[in-house]
């Protein structure tokens, strides 16, 4: 019988290689650690040179504060760092790195040369080590103030790890993405990247809003800026700023989502959930939003020491952060109007909320703000009385009569449920007069004036930019949907008692959560009763959800409450039902509309939240400018 294995200390080399397994996954992991050290040293310029996707060579040179010659060997030791001294420093970490393991881990699986000079030193010094013996060798060298780190032959002594690397192109793409993220996090630093002797990226320092926007455009592409909305909102010491892509600029993959907390790139499920909720009503199924967002909070309320790669963080008050993110983005997207999308690309203006309600939480944690391009606010169309424009609305959902209110009028829910099937009312005799052309008007509204209807599906209108095409069913569907939501929000949800209460078996934690949120469930039309440590009785559900599976819905809501501290599943079910009602109630294809009816629809689109997309996330209108029309007919060539 074999005896028990004895406990022994790991050798420094093996301990570093184990740590490298957590920190060094591929060349991109190495470049991340080296660049973070450069940024923490106060560098204002970083040059990166790469060969063979980073496997053969990774070299990072900066103009930071440098490392003293006596500290060079210690820089390659485990758990040695200049960034924290005690627990208090760890609880308020502002540096990107702080574990003191990166260089030791890298040097255990590669050949590493570190050269550095401080401003006080007469000359630079160099330390060199290889993974085989881990013994550092220090010698004098020539180098300006700053630090260079050269990493060659990654995984040369761990061939099994090297086999897991992908092609040169794939590894370089991952490496380049790391640099992009850090370049977005630090606008004040210049980044230059060369691969196999060729310049790939050259980003200069960006100190104002215009140059920052240019950097964002260089990294995310000019199309992003053309379809993005700048926001800058602060409340109770928490600030969110950056650029949010409009729903029309969605992606098939979540590959253009950059989120930073105090300058640190993070991938956080709480953040992802809040963003997903904010876009839920306007994004086409299977599409992903785009954004470059920066969250600034007190370092004491966020824990960055929860993952070896520092990609995840933990917030002390996750519910507050979730509600702040959701409310800010939700209101910003709701405030987008046609004139915003027709305005010049939002490249510089960071719009801050104003007025007595600026930054205040409203119902469901929403925030009242105006996160819209300044150009759009300045160019906002001020509606005139309808007689001045020569058209009379006859729509059953309310004619346009010069009301400049930004939200549609809510119907009582009881009336809305019966009236949502109504189409446009018949027009008065003689109402279908010839359209009044835009040049005859003093001011032109964003979506212009209707000219004709195409195939009973599309409305053709002329505005200041050119031709507007509107999908009338999709547009009317969104208008009806927003009105039904307003009606429900104003009147609340009525509950319907179940003839036979349903029993739901849960874990004790889930049952405790339900009991804790019983008042919240009650406001939504549910009546829950705890029958035992792991059993709930569902006695009442919202009347509008009488066809839903009550057990599954309550169980899913509880799972969300325990995971994120909030849930939108009930609202999602209700919105789905209201969306179905709006879809059936919207004007159908092949319904012939007179010009005044079309104009009434255009005016309602201009005052309705989220009118750029239907309830399913599809666009409701598009613009063809004169330049695009000229290209179609080769004019000017």
Q: Would you state the pLDDT for residue 93?
A: 56
Pairing of strands 57-62, 146-152: antiparallel
The domain boundary residue, chosen from 158, 180, 203: 203
Q: How far apart are CA 291 and CA 128, in angstroms?
A: 42
CATH at residue 233: 3.30.230.10
Domain co-membership, 155 together with 215: no
Torsion of CA 511, 516, 521, 522, to 10 degrees: 120
DSSP line for 362-396: -GGG-B----S-HHHHHT------HHHHT-----T
Q: Flag whether 170 is in a domain.
A: yes
Domain co-membership, 357 together with 405: no
The dihedrals phi and psi of 304, each to the nearest 5 degrees, come to: -95, -5
Residue 536: burial class (beta carbons within 10 Å; 0-12, 13-18, 19+): buried
Q: How far apart are CA 503 and CA 539, in angstroms?
A: 9
Q: Is the dihedral of CA 258, 264, 266, 272 positive or negative?
A: negative
Q: What are the angstrom distances between the C-alpha of 298 and each of 138, 237, 273, 462, 603? A: 40, 7, 22, 50, 44
Indicate the pTM of the whole model.
0.71
Domain co-membership, 388 together with 351: no
Residue 222: CB partners within 8 Å, gap ≥ 6? none
Residue 2: CB partners within 8 Å, gap ≥ 6? none
Q: Flag whether 502 is in a domain.
A: yes
Contact 250, 284 (CB under 8 A): yes
Q: Flag whether 235 is in a domain.
A: yes
Q: Flag whether 3 is in a domain.
A: no
Q: Flag whether 6 is in a domain.
A: no
Q: How far is CA 622 from the centre of its chain?
A: 24
Q: Would you state the pLDDT for residue 525?
A: 79
Domain co-membership, 558 together with 463: yes
3 state SS for 128-176: EECCCCCCCEEEEECCCCEEEEEEECCCCCCHHHHCCCCCHHHHHHHHH
Q: Would you state the pLDDT for residue 355?
A: 38
Take residue 341 and report the two structure tokens written for it.
């999308």
Q: Flag whether 328 is in a domain.
A: yes
Q: Would you state the pLDDT for residue 422?
A: 43
Q: Flag whether 532 is in a domain.
A: yes
The domain boundary residue, chosen from 151, 180, 203: 203
The dihedrals phi and psi of 383, each to the nearest 5 degrees, come to: -65, 145
The H or E element containing residue 276 is helix 269-279
Domain co-membership, 150 together with 195: yes
The dihedrals phi and psi of 130, each to the nearest 5 degrees, come to: -130, 160
Number of compact structural domains in the chain:
3
Q: Would you state the pLDDT for residue 492?
A: 65
User: How many CA atoms lie less than 13 Å away from 483 in the CB half-sphere?
Assistant: 29
Query: Of 134, 20, 116, whose CA–CA distance to 77 is shortest?
Result: 134
Contact 289, 224 (CB under 8 A): no
Residue with the two structure tokens 């650029």: 243
Take residue 526 and report the two structure tokens written for it.
């549910």
Count Cβ atoms below 10 Å from residue 91 Cβ, excluding itself. Answer: 12
Domain co-membership, 238 together with 197: no
Summarize pLDDT for 157-213 with one digit per residue, the tens.
Answer: 888 788 889 999 999 999 999 999 999 999 999 999 999 999 999 999 999 989 999
User: How many CA atoms lie less than 13 Å away from 398 in the CB half-sphere?
Assistant: 18
Q: How far apart are CA 560 and CA 538, in angstroms?
A: 18
The domain boundary residue, chosen from 156, 180, 203: 203
Domain co-membership, 150 together with 293: no
Which residues, in sequence order, are bridge partners of residue 190? 45
Q: How far apart are CA 94 and CA 298, in angstroms?
A: 10
Domain co-membership, 497 together with 587: yes
Domain co-membership, 188 together with 261: no
Query: Of 253, 239, 266, 632, whose CA–CA distance to 467 is shortest?
Result: 632
Residue with the two structure tokens 């994004």: 283
- Give mean pLDDT in consecutive 10-residue pieces for the chain, a chain of 637 residues: 72 67 83 91 95 95 91 72 55 57 82 92 88 71 94 88 90 96 95 96 93 94 89 92 90 91 86 90 86 92 68 81 92 85 54 38 30 34 33 33 41 48 39 45 85 93 94 91 79 78 89 86 83 89 75 82 72 72 74 91 92 85 92 85
Q: How far apart are CA 201 and CA 410, in angstroms?
A: 52
CATH at residue 83: 3.30.565.10
User: How many CA atoms lie less than 13 Å away from 379 in the CB half-sphere?
Assistant: 18
Q: What are the angstrom distances between the C-alpha of 267 and each of 125, 274, 307, 544? A: 38, 13, 11, 36
Domain co-membership, 456 together with 532: yes
Range of the domain at 92: 12-203
* Strand stretches in 210-252, DSSP E: 228-235, 238-245
Domain co-membership, 373 together with 386: no
Take residue 261 and report the two structure tokens written for it.
């907390």
The dihedrals phi and psi of 504, each to the nearest 5 degrees, come to: -130, 120
Contact 19, 104 (CB under 8 A): yes
Q: Flag whether 91 is in a domain.
A: yes
Take residue 58 and report the two structure tokens written for it.
């990774």
CATH at residue 594: 3.30.1540.20
Take residue 415 and report the two structure tokens written for it.
């009336």
Domain co-membership, 403 together with 345: no
């Amino acid at each position: 019988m074999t005896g028990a294995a004895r406990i022994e200390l790991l050798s420094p080399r093996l301990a570093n290689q184990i740590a490298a397994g957590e920190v060094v996954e591929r060349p991109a992991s190495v470049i991340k650690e080296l660049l973070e050290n450069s940024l923490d040293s106060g560098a204002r310029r970083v040059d990166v040179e790469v060969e063979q996707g980073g496997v053969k060579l990774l070299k990072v040179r900066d103009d930071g504060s440098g490392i003293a010659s006596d500290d060079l060997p210690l820089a390659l030791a485990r758990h040695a760092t200049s960034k924290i001294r005690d627990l208090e420093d760890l609880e308020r970490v502002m540096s990107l790195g702080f574990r003191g393991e990166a260089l030791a881990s890298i040097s255990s699986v590669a050949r590493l040369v570190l050269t550095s000079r401080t401003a006080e030193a007469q000359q630079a010094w160099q330390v060199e080590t290889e993974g085989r013996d881990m013994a550092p060798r220090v010698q004098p060298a020539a180098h300006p103030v700053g630090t260079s780190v050269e990493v060659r032959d990654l995984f040369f002594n761990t061939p099994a790890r090297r086999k897991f690397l992908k092609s040169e192109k794939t590894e370089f793409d991952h490496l380049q993405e790391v640099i992009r993220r850090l370049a977005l996090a630090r606008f004040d630093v210049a980044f230059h990247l060369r691969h196999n002797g060729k310049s790939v990226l050259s980003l200069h320092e960006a100190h104002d809003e215009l140059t920052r926007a240019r950097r964002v455009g260089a990294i995310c592409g000019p199309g992003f800026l053309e379809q993005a909305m700048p926001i800058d909102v602060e409340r109770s010491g928490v600030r969110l700023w950056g650029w949010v892509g409009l729903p029309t600029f969605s992606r098939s993959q979540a590959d253009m989502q950059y989120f930073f907390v105090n300058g640190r790139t993070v991938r956080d499920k709480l953040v992802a959930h809040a963003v997903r909720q904010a876009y839920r009503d306007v994004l086409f199924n299977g599409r992903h939003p785009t954004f470059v967002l920066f969250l600034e909070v007190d370092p004491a309320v966020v824990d960055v020491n929860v993952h070896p790669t520092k990609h995840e963080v933990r917030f002390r008050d996750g519910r507050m952060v979730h509600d702040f993110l959701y409310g800010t983005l939700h209101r910003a997207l709701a405030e987008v109007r046609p004139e915003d999308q027709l305005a010049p690309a939002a490249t510089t203006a960071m719009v801050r909320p104003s007025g007595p309600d600026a930054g205040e939480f409203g119902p469901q944690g929403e925030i009242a703000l105006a996160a819209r391009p300044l150009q759009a606010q300045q160019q906002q169309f001020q509606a005139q009385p309808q007689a001045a424009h020569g058209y009379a609305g006859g729509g059953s959902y309310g004619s346009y009569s010069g009301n400049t209110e930004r939200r549609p009028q809510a119907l009582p829910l009881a009336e809305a449920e019966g009236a949502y099937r109504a189409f446009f009312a018949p027009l008065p005799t003689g109402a279908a007069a010839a359209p009044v052309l835009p040049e005859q008007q003093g001011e032109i509204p964003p979506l212009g004036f209707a000219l004709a209807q195409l195939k009973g599906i599309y409305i053709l209108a002329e505005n200041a930019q050119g031709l507007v095409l509107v999908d009338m069913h999709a547009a009317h569907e969104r208008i009806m949907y927003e009105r039904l939501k307003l009606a429900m929000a104003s009147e609340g949800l009525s509950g319907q008692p179940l003839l036979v209460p349903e029993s739901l078996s849960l874990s004790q934690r889930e049952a405790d959560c339900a009991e804790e949120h019983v008042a919240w469930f009650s406001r939504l039309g549910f009546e829950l009763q705890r029958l035992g440590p792991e059993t709930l009785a569902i006695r009442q559900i919202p009347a509008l959800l009488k066809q839903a599976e009550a057990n599954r819905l309550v169980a899913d809501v509880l799972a969300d409450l325990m995971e994120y501290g909030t849930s939108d599943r009930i609202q999602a079910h209700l919105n789905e039902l209201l969306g179905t009602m709006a879809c059936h109630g919207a004007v159908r294809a092949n319904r012939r509309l007179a010009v005044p009816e079309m104009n009434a629809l255009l005016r309602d689109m201009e005052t309705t939240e989220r009118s750029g997309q239907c309830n399913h996330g599809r666009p409701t209108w598009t613009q063809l400018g004169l330049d695009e029309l000229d290209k179609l007919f080769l004019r000017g060539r």
